Structures are given as structure tokens and as C-alpha cells.
Structure 1
Amino acid sequence: MKFSPALVSGRLVRRYKRFLADVILDSGEAITCAVPNTGSMMGLTDPDSRVWLSTSDNPKRKYRHTLEIVEADGGLVGVNTGLPNKLAEEAIRAGMIGDLADYADLKREQKYGQKSRIDILLGDPEKGLAYVEVKNVHFMRTPGLAEFPDTVTDRGARHLDEMADMVRAGHRAVMVYVVQRGDCETFSLCHDMDPAYCAAFDRATACGVEAFAVQCQISPEEITPVRTIRILE
């Protein structure tokens, strides 16, 4: 996924109210930008961190800029949780995630479960339906190990239970964790941050829900899914 128009860069002043950040652009201009991330972004909000932002000319937007990438741990990390669905679709179509590329149809944001929407719904006359739930991953405490979640996510746990319901109904269900950083070789659930989510994951996988983690390469020009990485138990 290429960024167009090109991202602009600057230095982070602070993140606050969860969805806002103050940034000094390289031009010297001080701006407030949108932060499309509901997580804690632990380790990614240090003052003076180098950041990259997309720019919108939509006059209806309150904030023209959106935080996309943060430099941390010597590399670049994608923080926009609105991008992983597109990245997961790219990975599926490229044949990176099991046999998901073999399904005939791919639809985004389809209603299912209890007032929920599945990120990607795959359909095929022979294979049937496959429900694909996508999560963004950018948390790393141990070098090389990506973790999810970085905060409590009741919604995420509910989605896992609804995915298990789809398996019980005779369909296929797949969790895809999109790791928006190129410095992680493995992926693990973060038990100390949200034990309830991890318990829901165990229930779901015991029921037959599959799970994959997809690593991305990040640059100010593009974010590209490159391979699946091992999920640790």
C-alpha cells in the first residue's frame, strides 16, 4: 500500500485525549493531528519521536493531518488502525495467508454476529464462507516479539466469541494479526495486558478458529505485507 500524496514528517510533541497529537513539522509549523488508534501505543509516544503524517484536503475534516508512522526501537512502526484491513486483503490476494487466496469472492465490512461487522468475508461455491477478523499489532517489549493487545479490548474478546459461533454454524473463521513493524520475528498474545482477551482466544481456537500473524515492511513511502510469522503459544 503506497501513500499518496506523500507523507510529511516532523517531531512528536505529545499524544493526548487518545485520538489527538501535537506535532512540529519539519517546516517548523506546529499542528494538531488525528491519531487513529484506540490502544495505549505504549513505547510509541515519546516526545521528540520522529513521525510521519498523511494529509487530507477534505474541508469537512477538523484536523488535516493523520498520524501514520512513528520511529521507535530503531525502526518504523505503523500506528493507523484503519490500514490493516487493506493490508490483510493485499496479503490474502498475494497468497500469504494459508489458502485464503483460493476463495472466489472477497467482501469487506459485512454484518454478522450480534450487531458486529466482519472485516473480510470470503465466499466460494465449493469452500463456503470464511469470516476473517483483522487486528493491528504494533506493540513490542521484547526485541523481535510482537504482542497483542496493548490494552484491554472487550470488543476484541466479543469478536473472538462471535467467530467461534461462526465455526459452530459450519463456517470457517480466521484471525489475522497485521504486524505493522518489520523488526518482529514472532507474535504472541499479551496475557498480562488483557487476560480476558487471551481466554477468549483460547476458547475460539479450541473451537476451530484459525490464527495467522502477517509481518509488514514499513517505509515513509509504503507499507507492504511480506510474510507470515510464527505465533507463540
Structure 2
Amino acid sequence: MRFPSLVSGEFVKRINRFVCVVRIKDKEHFAYLRNTGRLSELLKEGTCVYLKEKDKGKYSYELLLAEGEKGILVCLDSQIAPKLYAEGLPAGELVYEPKVVGGKLDLLVGKELIEVKSVNLVRDGIALFPDAPTQRGSRHIDLLIKAYPKYTPKMVFVIQREDAYAFSPNREMDPIFANKLKVFKSLGHRVVAYNCKVSLEEIKLKEEVEVLWR
């Protein structure tokens, strides 16, 4: 997935879940952020960030990338994850945001019902989700379980950075989500995770990584 031309800046502070302040060429601007996670280990004052300019909407910029430790680029747009995973799926069978079993999930490919989660937090090479408690994430697991056997459920975690060799549910942050995901796995349903190669020009899936159960 290609990015538009990006503008570099510095992160200043977060106003709320969707709005932050950035500094571009010594001038402060409000920027939109498509991510409800805490991102506290990434978005610190002075962090180098990359933004795309917006033609429409309330804000002139949207924060897309942040520079992590050792210069690693992290894509913060959580809405990219389902589209990124879908790039490798057969387009003719693909349905976005199917409404099934009393709710809405990310993807439907034939009979395979897929929920895709965006992951940004990495500690010691292990990607962790969520980085904030997520009732919505737990509800999605419940919907997937209810969809069986009419559909084949699958959970996908897209780690939007390159420096993770494994993924694990973040039990310390949200034990309810971690337990539900473990039950989902114990029922025989698939849980997979991929890291990504991220540059200033594009983001793409790199390779599948191991899922660790703690």
C-alpha cells in the first residue's frame, strides 16, 4: 500500500483519542489520528512523526507514521490493517465490513469471516495487543465464535512495524480480551499475526510471526 507524499514534524501532545498537536517548521498544528490506542510508548513530546496533508475536513494534517526506537517506522493508522491484509485475498470473493450474527466485522472471503486488528506496541521484539482495554475487541471475538459453523472464523493481527518476531495478547492490559482470544484458539479457530515493512513510501505485509500464549 503506497503512501502519499508525507511531511515531517515533531509530536507535541495529544488532545484526545483522535486529535493531537504537532510542530511543523516551528509552527504548531492540530492533526487527526486514526487510532484509539494509548500509544504512550510511541507518542512522546519531540518524537519524529510523518503526516499527510488533508484537502478536506477540520484538520489540515493526518498523523500517519511515528519514529520508534532505533529509527523504526511505525504506522499508526489503524484503519489500514484490514485493507493491507485484504491485498493478498481474492478480490472477487471479498466483502468489506460484512454484517453477520448481529454485528459487523472486517472481512468476509467465501465462508471465512475475518476480524483484523492493528498492532503498534512492541516490547523486546514481542508485539502486544491491546495497548488499552478494549470491550470492542472482546465483542468481536464473541461475534466470531457465534458465527461458527455457518462461517469459519479467523483473527488476524497486523503489526504495523518491522521489529516484532512474535505476537502475544496483552494480558496485563486487558485480561478479559486475552482470555477470550485463548478460548477462541482452544475452539480450533485460527489466530495469525504478521509484521510489516514500513517506509516513507509504503507499508506492506512482511512475514507471519509466531503467536505466543501466556
TM bracket, shorter-chain basis: over 0.9
Kindly indicate whether residue 103 of structure 2 is the aligned counterpart of residue 121 of structure 1.
no
Partner of 1:135: 117
What is the alpha-carbon distance in structure 2 between the residues aligned to residue 22 and residue 112 of structure 1? 38
Shift of 1:71: 0.5
What is the alpha-carbon distance in structure 2 between the residues aligned to residue 35 and residue 152 of structure 1? 18
Q: Which amino acid aligns with 1:139?
A: L
Secondary structure of the 2:98 match is strand
Q: Which amino acid aligns with 1:136?
A: S
Q: TM-score, normalised to structure 2's length?
A: 0.94
Shift of 1:42: 2.5
Partner of 1:165: 146
Structure 2 unmatched runs, 5+: none
Kindly indicate whether residue 60 of structure 2 is the aligned counterpart of residue 64 of structure 1.
yes
What is the alpha-carbon distance in structure 2 between the residues aligned to residue 208 and residue 67 of structure 1? 38
Shift of 1:16: 2.2
Secondary structure of the 2:84 match is helix
**Is contact 1:42–1:139 with CA below 8 Å preserved after alignment?**
no
Give the one of 28, 31, 34 matched to 2:29: 31
Partner of 1:49: 47
Partner of 1:97: none
Give the one of 84, 89, 93 matched to 1:105: 93
Q: Which amino acid aligns with 2:204?
A: T
**Is contact 1:163–1:209 with CA below 8 Å preserved after alignment?**
no
Partner of 1:12: 11
Q: Could you say what the CA RMSD is over the residues aligned between the two structures, in angstroms?
A: 1.4
**Is contact 1:164–1:208 with CA below 8 Å preserved after alignment?**
no
Secondary structure of the 2:147 match is helix
- Map Cα deviations across residues 29-85 of structure 1 (whole Å, 9 max, x no partner): 321001111111130111000000111212xx0012111111111211111111111
What is the alpha-carbon distance in structure 2 between the residues aligned to residue 163 and residue 54 of structure 1? 34
- Map Cα deviations across residues 168-203 of structure 1 (whole Å, 9 max, x no partner): x33211111000010111111110100000111122
Secondary structure of the 1:84 match is helix
Structure 1 unmatched runs, 5+: 94-100, 124-128
What is the alpha-carbon distance in structure 2 between the residues aligned to residue 45 and residue 17 of structure 1? 13
Partner of 2:20: 21
What is the alpha-carbon distance in structure 2 between the residues aligned to residue 187 and residue 28 of structure 1? 38
What is the alpha-carbon distance in structure 2 between the residues aligned to residue 69 and residue 197 of structure 1? 27
Q: TM-score, normalised to structure 1's length?
A: 0.87
Shift of 1:107: 1.1
What is the alpha-carbon distance in structure 2 between the residues aligned to residue 87 and residue 146 of structure 1? 18
**Is contact 1:152–1:194 with CA below 8 Å preserved after alignment?**
yes
- Map Cα deviations across residues 112-171 of structure 1 (whole Å, 9 max, x no partner): 122x21211001xxxxx0001000001122x2111111110011001101101112x332
Secondary structure of the 2:12 match is strand
What is the alpha-carbon distance in structure 2 between the residues aligned to residue 210 and residue 175 of structure 1? 6
Partner of 1:201: 181
Q: Which amino acid aligns with 2:115?
A: E
**What is the identity percentage for the equivalent residue pairs of Structure 1 and Structure 2?**
32
Return 203-212 or 66-75, whichever deviates more.
203-212
Secondary structure of the 1:155 match is helix
